């Protein structure tokens, strides 16, 4: 009997590539001297060049080239000599001169790679190119005024680094690992703050699916405007499923650009290739081809900082951390910096410093940010600006370490205080004094134990039936009532004695 199509087992394999646009953190824009500082009033950091007035001349910012070179070399790219700036023509209200200056067709770096962890091993994702371009202005569409849109030119001319991968990723997990690797690298190289919630990192994905073992790639679909890790993984996952289902039903995939609808959790068609834009690239006549000499390349290569992979191995050999802990720490440069500062400058035991940062330290980072787990360097709060530095975090770790070592507070209290001290402007000793030191006062603990027993008859009952976990729960309640200040050993003893006596 011939099998019906739906009975035939075919396995499909996805091929995913990502384009990343990262805002570089130079102090001034790419082709003019306007500031790139965040938080300025709209249209206050502009000039005729970045407003696109006719007849103005762009002047290339040397630091943008330096930063892009750092990225290209760290990604093992070949450096094009020369790379060429071109005009990419399109009309849109955020682009008054009707073209974007980009190195898209003759990029600064080509044929590189980035390693990502995949299924317990290292996988190489090829980088097609790394190039410099300028950002467009930002369009705002006020909800209370649907008749009007606003344009903020502060973003116009901010330098962008575009990093284009080959379609080498084959799962959502690999896409996630790749995004983490790129963000971590940008931060290690100190060339971008790479904060998604501020639009400093933007993604586009290309997804195709083919029968496993096929030599040709399937028809690819591009997904634009992905502005969070969650949007990228959601959109890629959706496309893999949609295309696989279509192929299983014998349908043909249409080559097209699709948009991700966050609310619906689905992609939808934007335009097909037949109506796709022809950008009419041509060389920018006001910028000469960019020649980077050997000396410049050699210097930048020599000055490349220690990247996450190398640092991870060093943390294992130098401090005896597990591979896993070292990977967690180095995934966030600020975390690894804080731990090493605590150990080297403050003589904190490596184990203590590591536990503080991998536990409450990472929870604090999550709270502080966009949920992506990186520390915020500058927390803006009205007029006052609170500055995070690795030294400040190391000093907090050291202060808590000394208090725990001298048994003035418990490890539990230290973990509880840690994020709160980081959020305050206070010294550890002052903060802890305000909280009151650990309660080792027998009378006070007795009072807390009595209340907790009265308030939790179910747990008391369970403990009497022999459930040891119920005692842990009751101790937890004492800790909670005391805001983490109770001495847990004493609390356990007192509760046990009291329960036995009843």
**Structure-token match 């915020």, residue found:** 376
61 or 180, CB closer to Zn ion? 61
Query: How far is Cα 372 from Cα 230, in angstroms, rounded to an integer?
Result: 10
To Mn ion, the closest distance from the beta carbon of 162 in angstroms equals: 4
To Zn ion, the closest distance from the beta carbon of 45 in angstroms equals: 7
Query: Which partner, Zn ion, Mn ion, none, binds residue 162 by CB below 5 to 8 Å per kind?
Result: Mn ion
172 or 232, CB closer to Mn ion? 232
Token couple for 137? 């202005």
Instruction: Please tell me the count of residues contacting Zn ion according to CB under 5 A.
Output: 5
To Mn ion, the closest distance from the beta carbon of 186 in angstroms equals: 16
Q: What DSSP line would sit under 100-148, residue for residue? A: EEE-TTS-SEEEEEEEEEETTEEEEEEEEEEEEEEPPPEEE--TT-TT-
Question: Does residue 204 touch Mn ion according to CB under 5 A?
Answer: no
Residues in contact with 70: Cβ distance below 8 Å, sequence separation at least 6, in sequence order: 189, 191, 300, 304
To Mn ion, the closest distance from the beta carbon of 148 in angstroms equals: 28
Among the listed residues 185, 181, 189, the one whose alpha carbon sits nearest the alpha carbon of residue 70 = 189
32 or 495, CB closer to Zn ion? 32
Near Mn ion in 309-328, by CB under 5 A:
none
Spacing of C-alpha 384 from chain mean position: 25
Query: Which partner, Mn ion, Zn ion, none, binds residue 186 by CB below 5 to 8 Å per kind?
Result: none
Q: Parallel, antiparallel, or unpaired for β 121-134 and 86-89?
A: unpaired
To Mn ion, the closest distance from the beta carbon of 167 in angstroms equals: 17
Query: Which partner, Mn ion, Zn ion, none, binds residue 136 by CB below 5 to 8 Å per kind?
Result: none
Query: Which partner, Mn ion, Zn ion, none, binds residue 47 by CB below 5 to 8 Å per kind?
Result: Zn ion
Question: Does residue 32 touch Zn ion according to CB under 5 A?
Answer: yes
Contact call for residues 208 and 253 (beta carbons, < 8 A): yes
Whole-angstrom distance between the N-terminal and C-terminal Cα of the chain? 77
132 or 336, CB closer to Mn ion? 132
Query: Which partner, Mn ion, Zn ion, none, binds residue 137 by CB below 5 to 8 Å per kind?
Result: none
Residues in contact with 39: Cβ distance below 8 Å, sequence separation at least 6, in sequence order: 380
Among the listed residues 134, 149, 132, 143, the one whose alpha carbon sits nearest the alpha carbon of residue 42 = 149
Instruction: Please tell me the count of residues contacting Mn ion according to CB under 5 A.
Output: 1
162 or 393, CB closer to Mn ion? 162
Token couple for 165? 């991968």
Residues in the chain, how many?
502
What would the x/- binding string for Zn ion be over residues 33 to 72, using CB under 5 A? -x------------x-xx----------------------
Q: Which stretch binds Zn ion (CB under 5 A): 30-38, 373-381, 422-430, 457-465?
A: 30-38
Q: Which stretch binds Zn ion (CB under 5 A): 28-36, 192-200, 285-293, 363-371?
A: 28-36
From residue 351, how far is each of 74, 227, 397 by CA, in Å?
31, 37, 11
Where b means 16+ CB within 10 Å and e means fewer, 452-486 reads bbeebeebbebbeeeeeebbeebbebbbebbebbb
Q: Which stretch binds Zn ion (CB under 5 A): 24-32, 126-134, 180-188, 477-485?
A: 24-32
Residues in contact with 414: Cβ distance below 8 Å, sequence separation at least 6, in sequence order: 356, 400, 401, 403, 404
Question: Does residue 162 touch Mn ion according to CB under 5 A?
Answer: yes
The DSSP 8-state label assigned to residue 215 in this structure reads S
To Mn ion, the closest distance from the beta carbon of 393 in angstroms equals: 36
Query: Which partner, Zn ion, Mn ion, none, binds residue 34 by CB below 5 to 8 Å per kind?
Result: Zn ion
Among the listed residues 64, 57, 73, the one whose alpha carbon sits nearest the alpha carbon of residue 111 = 73
50 or 205, CB closer to Zn ion? 50
Binding site for Zn ion (CB under 5 A): 32, 34, 47, 49-50
Q: Which residues contact Mn ion by CB under 5 A? A: 162
């Amino acid at each position: 009997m011939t099998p019906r199509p739906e009975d035939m087992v075919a396995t499909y394999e996805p091929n995913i590539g990502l384009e990343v646009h990262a805002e570089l953190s130079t102090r001034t824009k790419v082709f003019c001297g306007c500031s790139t500082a965040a938080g300025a009033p709209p249209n206050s950091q502009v000039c005729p060049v970045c407003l696109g007035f006719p007849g103005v001349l762009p002047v290339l910012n040397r630091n943008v080239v330096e930063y892009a070179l750092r990225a290209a070399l760290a990604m093992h790219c070949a450096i094009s000599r020369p790379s060429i700036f071109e005009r990419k023509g399109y009309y849109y209200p955020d682009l008054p001169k009707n073209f974007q200056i980009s190195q898209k067709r003759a990029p600064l770096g080509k044929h590189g790679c980035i390693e990502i962890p995949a299924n317990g091993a290292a996988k190489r994702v090829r980088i097609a190119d790394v190039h410099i371009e300028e950002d467009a202005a930002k369009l705002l569409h006020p909800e209370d005024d649907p008749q009007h849109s606003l344009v903020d030119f502060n973003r116009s001319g901010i330098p962008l680094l575009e990093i284009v991968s080959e379609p080498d990723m084959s799962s959502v997990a690999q896409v996630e690992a790749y995004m983490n690797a790129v963000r971590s690298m940008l931060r290690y190289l100190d060339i971008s703050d790479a904060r998604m919630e501020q639009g400093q990192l933007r993604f586009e994905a290309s997804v195709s699916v083919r029968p496993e073992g096929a030599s040709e790639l399937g028809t690819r679909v591009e997904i634009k405007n992905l502005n969070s890790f969650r949007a990228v993984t959601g959109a890629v996952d959706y496309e893999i499923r949609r295309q696989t289902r279509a192929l299983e039903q014998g349908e043909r995939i249409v080559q097209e650009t699709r948009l991700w609808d966050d609310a619906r959790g689905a992609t939808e068609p934007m335009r097909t290739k037949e109506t796709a834009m022809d950008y009419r690239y041509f060389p920018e006549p006001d910028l000469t081809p960019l020649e980077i000499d050997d000396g410049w390349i050699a210097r930048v290569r020599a000055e490349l900082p220690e990247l996450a992979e190398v640092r991870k191995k060093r943390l294992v050999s130098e401090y005896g951390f597990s591979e896993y802990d070292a990977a967690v720490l180095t995934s966030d440069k600020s975390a690894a910096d804080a731990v090493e500062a605590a150990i080297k400058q403050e003589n904190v035991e490596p184990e203590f410093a590591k536990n503080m940062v991998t536990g409450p330290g990472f929870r604090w980072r999550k709270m502080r940010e966009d949920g992506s787990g990186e520390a915020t360097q500058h927390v803006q709060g009205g007029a006052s600006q609170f500055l995070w530095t690795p030294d400040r975090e190391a000093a907090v770790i050291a202060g808590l370490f000394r208090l725990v070592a001298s048994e003035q507070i418990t490890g539990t209290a230290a973990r509880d205080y840690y994020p709160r001290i980081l959020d305050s402007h206070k010294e550890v000793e002052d903060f802890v004094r305000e909280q009151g030191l650990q309660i080792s006062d027998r009378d006070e603990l007795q009072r807390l134990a009595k209340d907790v027993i009265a308030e939790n008859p179910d747990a008391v009952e369970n403990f009497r039936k022999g459930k040891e976990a119920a005692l842990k729960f009751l101790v937890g309640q004492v800790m909670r009532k005391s805001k983490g200040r109770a001495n847990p050993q004493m609390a356990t003893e007192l509760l046990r004695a009291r329960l036995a006596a009843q």
